[in-house]
Structure 1
């Protein structure tokens, strides 16, 4: 009885404190920046992880000279095979041409928050920026290395092994309980 009470209190604390812990945003740590020619100026593209690895989440920020105030822009991600790709970012429409929004942690710049480029190879980001001086374009090559860690199948196998053991133990317990119930019922 006491262990159930302790377990219940511990579970309640985890549930009640989880939103508070997750609500505290960490500052964005930029580790690499690239300058992209953009009309008569430049656009600074910054990354929270470098070199970029396939399937690994990171943040991007994009800031044209003079800032983003009074400007709008789009970015198109081009895969190593040359096809435009919607990156499936929460809050964006899923189109290949994604409207640039303020980064949630770096409000002075546009950005993509927690994005993973799924394929290894040479990616390209094509920018179009609309401002008082007209429309400017620029292209940023992004080399993406192999995904870190073991192959996906091995990761899934290792990750699912405890669940398979749990399923076997549950099935065994269910069969034992069923057998006892049948024996008790028969007298």
Structure 2
């Protein structure tokens, strides 16, 4: 009887669970820029604007005429002037990243949930073979929120209190154990 109830509950949970292949929400674009790309253009769009350093956002890149049958690369140039690998999951981690379809905007290439690690003027250099090259300057503002040191300090206060309380309890138990042995 218990086995039947357990199997019924398990079947109900499995059948009522959301489908893994459910349609993802469409990407919300709040700002777009047109970039000259050889004799054509490329539209770069952003899910957050203005861009802040250290804050995740989505980029999409769509050349005029679409991405079907085309390939392309993008190189991120940091404010220091050095090419920078953005550490994007699924890409090779090189400064020259092969453009891939965005998971939520399948009609365009894109970078999914990426953050520019430092403040300043970034440049994205695009190359689409047979079409041309183009550059997009993007200003990344200061990191939102309080400084990291202050955030860590405030966040560690509860752990510090817990360690002090545990240390005090341990010291009392240790002291009692030593006194018990010496009696």
TM-score by length of 1: 0.80
CA RMSD of aligned residues (A): 2.2
2:144 equivalent to 1:145: no
Query: Which aligned runs of 4 or more in structure 1 are off by greater than 6 angstroms?
Result: none
CA offsets per residue over residues 42-98 of structure 1, 9 Å max, x none?
Answer: 111111110001111111111111211101111000111211100111111111101
Question: Rg bigger for which structure?
Answer: 2
Report the Cα offset of residue 146 of structure 1.
Answer: 1.1
- Alignment correspondent of 1:124: 123
Return 164-173 or 41-50, whichever deviates more. Answer: 164-173
SS, match of residue 60 in structure 2: strand
SS, match of residue 107 in structure 2: coil
Asked if structure 1 preserves the Cα contact closer than 8 Å seen for 2:75 and 2:126, the reply is yes
Aligned length: 165
Report the Cα offset of residue 183 of structure 1.
Answer: 3.7
Structure with greater strand percent = 1
Report the Cα offset of residue 182 of structure 1.
Answer: 3.5
Structure 1: where are the runs of 5+ without partners? 1-19
Report the Cα offset of residue 169 of structure 1.
Answer: 2.0
TM-score by length of 2: 0.81
CA offsets per residue over residues 11-56 of structure 1, 9 Å max, x none?
Answer: xxxxxxxxx79x7754321110111111222111111110001111
SS, match of residue 53 in structure 1: coil
* Distance in structure 2 (CA, Å) of the matches to 1:170 and 1:103: 49
* Distance in structure 1 (CA, Å) of the matches to 2:177 and 2:29: 63
* Distance in structure 1 (CA, Å) of the matches to 2:149 and 2:132: 44
- Alignment correspondent of 2:151: 155
Structure 2: where are the runs of 5+ without partners? 1-16
In structure 2, do the counterparts of structure 1 residues 163 and 70 end up closer, same or farther at CA, with 3 Å as the change threshold?
A: same
